[in-house]
Amino acid sequence: MNLRIFVFLMLCHLTVYAQDPRLANQYYNDGEFEKALTLFQQLYQKNPSNDYYFKNYLNCLKALDRFDDAESLIKKEIQNRPKDCNLLVIYANLLAKIGQNEKAEKQYQLAIEKLPADVIVVHNLVSALIDGNRLDDAIKTYEKAERILKGIAHFNYQLADLYRKKGDVDKMLSYYMLALEDGSVNQLSIQNLLQVYLPKDKIANFQSMIFEKLEEKPDEPSLVELLQWSYIQNKDYPNALRQSKSMDRRMNEGGSRVMNIANIATNERDYKTAIDGYQYIKSLGPSGPYFMEATRQTLICRRKIIVENNQYTSADLISLETDYDNFRKEYSQNKLGASILIEYAELEARYLNNVSKAIEILLEVIKNPVLDLNTKARAKLDLGDYYLITGERWEASLLYSQVDKDFLEDETGELARFKNAKLSYFAGDFNWAQEQFDILKQATSRLISNDAIDMSVFILDNLNQDTLGLALTEYSKTELLIFQNQFQQALVRLDSILIDYPKNSLEDDVYYLQAKIYNYLQMRDSAIAKYSFIINNYKDGIRADNALYEMAQIYDYQLENKEKAKELYEKLFIEFSGSTLAVESRLRFRKLRGDEVQ
């Protein structure tokens, strides 16, 4: 019985003892330092070798401003552990806190002098120095450790981090390069760090350091990777591509690296560099894994130069047509080539005015038995457009309706319904068209929804002012002429609307259409003049934000006047903050300003 009581009492004692550290920590975390002090003092006295109890006991004394007791405690520890230079820094931090700076300075330097060749001690000492905001001494400690450990351990990565905290970017970079060399950090980790901490104006310095290292080790892959990465950060895609080609040849990668750079250049609208990359991949031969995709992307980029930048000559169109035609001859039955053939048809219909050939190409795509329904639906929608260009309205409507039926709950079906509604609008059946646009306001596609809202509001506004819709009828017929590439007839008709229906609500819309035609015909000055007229005279109209955006696009991509483009984008998102174009304008403005945009 006595034994049981003894065991029970011992268990109780152990349970209470085990709870003391938890209770002490709880008091400490809650800021109840008097209570925490009592418990940590007891724990420290029972376990004088436990560094955790010592430090928390000391922290409680400092929190209660009992600096004399804290100093006595540290001195006692220093006597017990005379080789522990970390204690000297703890002591120095205390002296600095109570204003005894000269004494503190001596202790800091004494700690560094006593530094042993022990990696754990080095890290602990630096940690204590950083706690006292002694970054220079922390650097001095690591530099000394590099010398006394003589290659047993390296601290270049830690030194780079300390110089980063100090804001010394050049030193940070140089130590990262040394860390890469000694293997304490890999190239990918450096890229991730520099993605955050490398200022744009220091990229050139970083590249100079890489070039110096490359002189010593010209075949070091990690250095070439870093150089390529630095070019990408600087948006210098031609040089990034040059490095990627070099690496591809050296490492026999089959074009994967080059493909990646070419794709990045495409996304950044540097189509010339992208095409250079894709052509390199094509040069590796048709057996390569990226040959087909590179062929497709080359045509896509060449087409984008025409469609997006609107800068081309007849010779450019004919040259591109030849390449498309060669692609068609070789890959017309290839599933992956269908999207290219659809774009080829667009080139013929929209830019070369060869609608019959466009129709022929799309009929070939639709008849291809290996294609999926989505691709065929896209071809049918475009085919409907080209039938409409030739005046075959019912053929167009039939194709739109087929797609609508096949994709009732899909964005493709919504687009088909939008096109059918636009057909009714072109034909002057405004009430029916407006009802359809009202339904499409709820479309899952934001683009279709926005366009439907614009069309619905546009029809209502103009019918409210002209219930017979005479001016609107002329205007919709003019839009159909533009859709059919009959630009000169459209310009004549637009002039007639201004004469026959003076002071009509459609005035700004007429000027807007004129501007769009001039821009398509590459008459930049005339387009800008019309857009400016709308902005200055119809600021409260529905076309003002569109005009501002279109004009910004001309300066941005066609005239390469980025400063003017930036000014116009900024004007749009400030003065027309409610516009659907405001978000896009803000993003492009930030990009032109050099901000990092995700």
CA-wise closest residue to 228 among 281, 191, 274, 182: 191
Mean pLDDT of the chain: 89
CA-wise closest residue to 435 among 451, 455, 450: 455
* Model pLDDT, residue 80: 86
% of the chain beyond a pLDDT of 70: 96
- Residue 524 φ then ψ, to 5°: -60, -50
Q: Which of 19-28, 236-245, 253-262, 512-521 comes out lowest in average pLDDT?
A: 19-28
* Model pLDDT, residue 6: 44
CA gap 153, 508 in Å, rounded? 74
| Local confidence band at 16 (pLDDT 50, 70, 90 cut-offs) | very low
Dihedral angle at the C-alpha atoms of 369, 372, 378, 383, nearest 10 degrees? 10
- Residue 373, Cβ neighbours under 10 Å: how many? 12
| Local confidence band at 597 (pLDDT 50, 70, 90 cut-offs) | low
* Model pLDDT, residue 54: 87
Q: DSSP secondary-structure letter at 502? A: T
CA gap 288, 304 in Å, rounded? 25
Instruction: Label residues 332-354 b or e (16+ Cβ within 10 Å = b).
Output: bebeebbbbbbbbbbbbbbbeee
Q: Can you tell me the mean pLDDT for 149-178?
A: 91
Residue 231 has pLDDT above 80, yes or no: yes
* Model pLDDT, residue 483: 94
Q: Can you tell me the mean pLDDT for 293-297?
A: 90
pLDDT of 456-495, one tens digit each?
Answer: 988 988 887 776 788 999 999 999 999 999 999 999 999 9
pLDDT of 499-544, one tens digit each?
Answer: 999 888 899 999 999 999 999 999 999 999 999 999 999 998 889 9
Most confident segment among 243-247, 421-425, 502-506: 421-425
Find where tokens 């009592």 sit.
38
CA gap 362, 368 in Å, rounded? 10
| Local confidence band at 11 (pLDDT 50, 70, 90 cut-offs) | very low
First vs last C-alpha separation in the chain: 75
Q: Can you tell me the mean pLDDT for 32-54?
A: 88
Which ranges of 446-523 would DSSP assign to H, the alpha helix? 446-465, 470-483, 487-500, 507-520
Q: Can you tell me the mean pLDDT for 70-94?
A: 87
| Local confidence band at 2 (pLDDT 50, 70, 90 cut-offs) | low
* Model pLDDT, residue 165: 92
Please say whether the beta carbons of 499 and 533 come within 8 A.
Answer: no
* Model pLDDT, residue 228: 92
What string of DSSP letters covers 389-448?
A: HTT-HHHHHHHHHHHHHHTTTSHHHHHHHHHHHHHHHHTT-HHHHHHHHHHGGG-SSHHH
Find where tokens 């007839």 sit.
489
What string of DSSP letters covers 354-377?
A: -HHHHHHHHHHHHT-TTS-HHHHH
Q: Which two tokens stand for residue 478?
A: 């003019």
* Model pLDDT, residue 598: 57
Q: Is 24 left (phi over 0), alpha (psi -120 to 50) or beta?
A: alpha
Q: Which two tokens stand for residue 182?
A: 């000694």
| Local confidence band at 14 (pLDDT 50, 70, 90 cut-offs) | very low
* Model pLDDT, residue 478: 96
- Residue 352 φ then ψ, to 5°: -105, 0
- Residue 136, Cβ neighbours under 10 Å: how many? 12
* CB-based contacts of 155, cutoff 8 Å, min separation 6: 122, 142, 143, 145, 146
pLDDT of 254-275, one tens digit each?
Answer: 899 999 999 999 999 899 999 9
* Model pLDDT, residue 414: 95
Please say whether the beta carbons of 145 and 125 come within 8 A.
Answer: no
Q: Which domains does the chain have, with CATH numbers?
A: 506-598 (1.25.40.10)
CA gap 471, 464 in Å, rounded? 12
* Model pLDDT, residue 379: 96
